[in-house]
Chains A and B, each alone.
Chain A
Amino acid sequence: MKRCIEALAGAIGIALILGGCAGVPSAPPPSDAAADRVPEAQSPAPATPSSAAQMHFDAALDLMRRGLDEEAATAFFAMTRAYPDFTAPLLNLAIIRAQAGRTEEAENALLQALERDPNNVLAADMLGVLYREAGRFDEAREAYEQALVIDPSRADTHYNLGILYDLYLQAPRKALAHYELNRHYGGEDNAVVERWLADLRQRLAAEHAPSAQEGETR
């Protein structure tokens, strides 16, 4: 650990050092200590805190891209303490954890991000997807809706909420509405969404009331 802290003096070595520290499973670095020392270690240098955070973030991103998920997660987690104003590290941490099936950690990271930045629409959307995958459909709906409160024009969220209503809440009319809003706010994959819309309209026409009622109950 001491070795790690001393190495922090050199700005260039940060990514490697972080990786190294993370790679020592028997002695996981106390992130508190590491984070606290970062500004001090940096203080003799003229670099700004933000640039330091960026460097830190970049190093973590590098780890993530290289598939070193555990090391990346450690780095992002350290950033969440060192730079509490930033939410991006939390989001990436959530992505890594969700991919590993560690839903609860992912959820915590996203909720923390929303706490730090209630207007983080991306966090809200990601939370919706996470909940949907976990089968927590009502919570997923609320998350999406929160995202849409933050940014009603976010096409991807309408896309995702549409799928939620379509397949999981099985409220086709609401699904239809959000697919249409996706289209309205210029979402990608126009052709695909168009086919879905066509299919939905056709089914709604065929099924009439039951679907309508069902959709209304939702």
Chain B
Amino acid sequence: MGSISILMAACASSPPATSQADLTLKSLDEQPTVVLREVASSDLQLAQDSYRAYAAITADQARREYALRRIADLQLAIGEEALASGRPHRQAFADAVVAFQELLRQYPDHARADEVHYQIARAWDNAGDEARSLAALKHVTDRYPDSPLYAESQFRRGEILFARRDYAAAQTAYTAVLAANDGGVFQDQARYKRGWSFYLRGAVPEALADFMAVLARSLVSGSEFRTHLALESLPRTQRELVDDTLRVISLGFARQGGANAVTAWFERHGGAPFEPLVYSRLAEHYLAERQYEQAADTLHAFVARHPLHEQAPLFQIRVAEIYDRAGEDARADSARNEFIAGYGRESAYWEQRDLARMPLVSQKLRDEFLTQAQRSHAEAQRSGLQADYLTAARWYRDYLAFFPDDGRAPELSFLLGELLFESGRYAEAVEHYEQSAYRYSPHPKAADAGYAALVSYQRMLEETAEGEARQLLLARSIDAAVRFTGQFPRHPEVSTVMTRAAQHLFAAGQHSRALTMALRITGGSSAAPELRRTAWVVAGDVQFERAEYGLAETSYTSALEIAEDPQLRERLAVAIYRQGEAARELGSRGEARQHFLRAAAAAPRSAIAETAEYDALAITLTLRDWPAARDQLERFRMAWPESRLQKDVTRELALVYLELGEHARAAEEFGRMAASTDDEEEARAALWRSAELYDQVGDMTRASLAWQRYITLYPEPVDRAIEARLRIAKAFQSRGDVESRRQWLGEVVSAFESDGGSAGSDFSRQAAAQAALELAAPARERFERLRLVAPLDRSLRQKRAAMEAALEAYGRAARFGIPEVATAATYHIGEIYHGFGRALLESERPADLSEDELEEYDVLLEEQAYPFEEEAIKLHEVNFRRIPQGFYDRWVRASMEQLATLMPVRYGKMEKKVEIVETLH
């Protein structure tokens, strides 16, 4: 009833305004001051009193009639003022009715009697007397059908009747309003209220007709339909009207049988732009009642009626959502399938539409495709079937084709990659991983996608047999890794990837790239130690291959500082060794040696250490740094007992000891060399040298042993073997071992003679001769020691035998044909004869001889001795005759001395020599 009162108030304000205007026009010349004072005054009572006073005095009937009308209108205003301010007002309105009735009594032909009755209805209404008010209005509509207040009066009647639940009467009153030509402002309200009147009377179709008309008037302006969104922008009252109307329409259709009724209605009355509102509001009504199926049917009915309507997809997916709420999974799926089938990329719906301009639909489609993709992905994971994987992949691919610029496209590319990876389709997985990683602007999954691509490559490589194809694949995987490291430097695995890439690049021969990659790892601090170590190794390997051995050394050292590794350590040693080689080539021997020693120290137990240490000492040798060479050689021997270079060490050590004057040790080394070398000439020379050096330092035992070994090993050539025997003999002589010396001299002689003298040179012959000569001495000494004593025959026989032995010995020496030996032998033979003669003369005389006999005996002895003396002379003269041949050695001189004694006249001649010159001249 509130709305009706407002309308009444609005109407009530209108007539006085009209009256004032009239008043103004009519009384402008006569009563301008009064009118102005009335308007300006708020004191209605004062105004009324003025009109009352005026009415009492004026004689003009028209003016008096006007004044009485003003008094009645002001009385109504006084009542309304009291009503508005909550003061007692009933009497005021009753006074107003009285005033209006008094006017009509005095002036029954009042021109605006319709207005006066309308004012009376108003006063009764304000006074709470609905019946009298209704009667007053009926009076207006019955008596004044052409009154400007007719439609309003009918409307007011309808409102009062509707409020009194007299819907039939109200309906009639509303119909009168609608029928009036100037229904004007009351038209919409009257149609709405008539709809309700029908509705409340059970005439639903009639009611719906009025409501639909209300909607059409509210929402359609010409051909333009206000969209759902625009509904929000309607003025509040109109919006409430539309909203109420839609609600009651829904109620009405629900009572009529729901969606089918809606469709039937539109089919019968023609379609309307607001159909979606009607269907959706009905669906909402069902939802509020938890009548899910009816709600879904309603929405679906719209889709069936307008499949290509802009909002059809939204209705369709709403169907699915409602079934979701209802727990009707099968129906929800079915609805979704319809949605996807009806509004996919290839559907007619999109023929004239742009996805970008349809954000809601687009969003729903995305959600559904994504849901499908994820669901089928999960299914594939569960079943493990290739077919399921293919299905899931198709969902992702469709999605990406449909929404290439979608915000989730990068992630979905990645997921598609994951899916393909899981199904073992690594090549395709790579494609999508890389798409995800590199095609889109940065997104959270990009780095993971990039990494997953690398893992996929790894799998492919594992499955690919060696060959050209694998090489190509490897190259691609390396490029991918490089790209990854460039794009995602902060990925947790980036160091691992970089390290592996560096390794692969190196293996593929791309050294420059490998080095760059490795140095990126080593240059940073984020990589795990093990990775940095590997990177250092790669860097070192590249530098090594480039012959940048100093740099390689640094790299390897860095790697080793992180973790020890014997093989790497050896490689480090090689890198250092190569620096040594380079320095050596440039002639920097000292530097080269430093490098070699460093190389050996770097990997002390390695094979290269052996070589390096040896090369270092080779330089030391060329530098003639003997003490250092000795130390190094000895160390090398201790460190590398199994080295094949040991022979060289022995050789060099021997020479170094010689240089240092450590002859005993040199001798030992030469002996060792002789035993170890494969070169016979060298062995022979070394053994000899060993013996000589032992000899030199006075170690005769070792010298002898060495020479004996020499003789055993090298009987040829005879000269050398004989010399060895001589040296042994000499050694024994120096030790005073006469017996051994003689034994070895005998060896000299027999060695020469056994050979028949053919292989021996002059030296051997000379040596044999000298030996034979010396060996003759004992026989001679034995001969000399024997004295001729009684009984003479026995001692004579012994001495004779000794003489023959001595002669034989000297004869043997002389036969070698060596002049010096021959002269000696000749002298001794001469002296043996001489000695024998003398021995005879000095022999012990028989004790029992008389003087004469003794004299005779002496003569006899002299006769016996004489030939020996003669023989002695002959032999010394042999030596004497050698003088003109150039022989004048000590034995010739000795023979001369003997001859001088034996034949003084012939040989005892000495020059005249000056002993001292005493004159100074």
Contacts and interface: CB of A to CB of B under 8 A. Distances in A.
B911 A129 contact: yes
A214 B884 CA distance: 10
Interface string B778-796: 0000000000000000000
Contacts of A64: 916
Given A61-B916, A95-B916, A126-B914, A167 B921 contact: no
Contacts of A160: 911-912
A143 B897 CA distance: 25
A3 interface: no
Given A61-B918, A122-B917, A159-B912, A169 B905 contact: no
Nearest to A99: B915
B917 A199 contact: no
Nearest to A203: B906
Given A86-B920, A129-B911, A170 B884 contact: yes
Of the listed residues B905, B913, B918, the one surrounded by the most CB atoms of chain A closer than 10 A to its CB is B913
Contact of B921 (A61, A87, A129): A87
B883 A170 contact: yes
Size bin of chain B's contact surface: 20 to 34
B909 to A, nearest CB: 5
A88 B909 contact: no
Contacts of B920: 53-54, 57, 86, 88-89
A169 B884 contact: yes
Interface in A80-98: 86-89, 91-92, 95
B919 interface: yes
A196 B917 contact: no
B735 interface: no
Interface of A: 53-54, 57, 61, 64-65, 86-89, 91-92, 95, 122, 125-126, 129, 132, 135, 137, 156, 159-160, 163, 166-170, 188, 195-196, 199, 214, 218
A199 B906 contact: yes
Contacts of B881: 170
B889 to A, nearest CB: 8
Contacts of B912: 156, 159-160, 188
A163 B905 contact: no
Nearest to B881: A170
B857 interface: no
Nearest to A90: B917
B602 interface: no
A4 B914 CA distance: 32
Nearest to B912: A156
Given A54-B920, A87-B921, A135-B888, A167 B915 contact: no
Contact of A167 (B909, B913, B914, B916): B909
Contacts of A89: 920
Contacts of A135: 888
Interface of B: 880-881, 883-884, 888, 896, 905-907, 909-921
A166 B909 contact: yes
Given A87-B921, A129-B913, A195-B905, 20 more contacts: A57-B920, A64-B916, A88-B917, A91-B914, A95-B915, A122-B914, A122-B917, A129-B911, A132-B911, A163-B910, A163-B911, A166-B909, A167-B907, A168-B883, A168-B884, A169-B884, A170-B883, A196-B905, A199-B905, A214-B884
Contacts of A126: 913-914
Contacts of A188: 912
A88 B881 CA distance: 38
A92 B916 CA distance: 6
18 contacts: A86-B921, A87-B921, A88-B919, A88-B920, A91-B917, A92-B917, A95-B914, A95-B916, A95-B917, A125-B914, A137-B888, A159-B912, A160-B911, A163-B911, A168-B883, A170-B881, A170-B884, A214-B884
A19 B906 CA distance: 45
A166 B906 CA distance: 9
Contacts of B896: 167
Nearest to A134: B888
Nearest to A136: B888
Nearest to A161: B911
A66 B592 CA distance: 71
Contacts of B916: 61, 64-65, 92, 95
B890 to A, nearest CB: 10
A174 B920 CA distance: 34
Nearest to B918: A61
Nearest to B919: A88
A166 B909 CA distance: 9
A125 B915 CA distance: 13
In the A-B complex, list the 9 residue pairs whose CB atoms are closest, starting with the nearest. A135-B888, A160-B911, A156-B912, A91-B917, A57-B920, A163-B909, A170-B884, A88-B917, A88-B920
Contacts of B884: 168-170, 214, 218
B790 to A, nearest CB: 40
Contacts of B918: 61
Contact of A196 (B909, B913, B915): B909
A57 B917 CA distance: 10
A195 B907 CA distance: 12
Of the listed residues A86, A89, A95, A169, the one surrounded by the most CB atoms of chain B closer than 10 A to its CB is A95
A185 to B, nearest CB: 13
B265 to A, nearest CB: 157
A159 B911 contact: yes
A59 to B, nearest CB: 12
A153 to B, nearest CB: 15
Nearest to A92: B917
A126 B912 CA distance: 9
A118 to B, nearest CB: 14
Nearest to A126: B914
A156 B918 CA distance: 18
Of the listed residues B896, B905, B907, B912, the one surrounded by the most CB atoms of chain A closer than 10 A to its CB is B912
A160 B914 CA distance: 12
A214 B917 CA distance: 37
Contacts of A156: 912
A54 B911 CA distance: 30
Contacts of B914: 91, 95, 122, 125-126
Given A88-B921, A95-B916, A129-B913, A167 B905 contact: no
Contacts of A169: 884
Contacts of B917: 88, 91-92, 95, 122
A159 B910 CA distance: 9
Contacts of A61: 916, 918
Nearest to B887: A135
A87 B914 CA distance: 14
A210 B265 CA distance: 183
Contacts of B905: 195-196, 199
A132 B913 CA distance: 12
Contacts of A88: 917, 919-921
Contacts of A214: 884
Contacts of B915: 95
Nearest to B910: A163
Of the listed residues B888, B911, B914, B919, the one surrounded by the most CB atoms of chain A closer than 10 A to its CB is B911
Nearest to B888: A135
A166 B896 CA distance: 13
Contact of B883 (A129, A167, A195, A196): A167
A160 B913 CA distance: 9
A125 B917 CA distance: 13
A111 to B, nearest CB: 16
A23 to B, nearest CB: 21
Contacts of A65: 916
Contacts of A196: 905, 909
A93 to B, nearest CB: 10
A195 B905 CA distance: 7
A211 to B, nearest CB: 12
Contacts of A199: 905-906
B493 to A, nearest CB: 92
A126 B917 CA distance: 11
Nearest to A171: B884
Contacts of A166: 909
B66 to A, nearest CB: 181
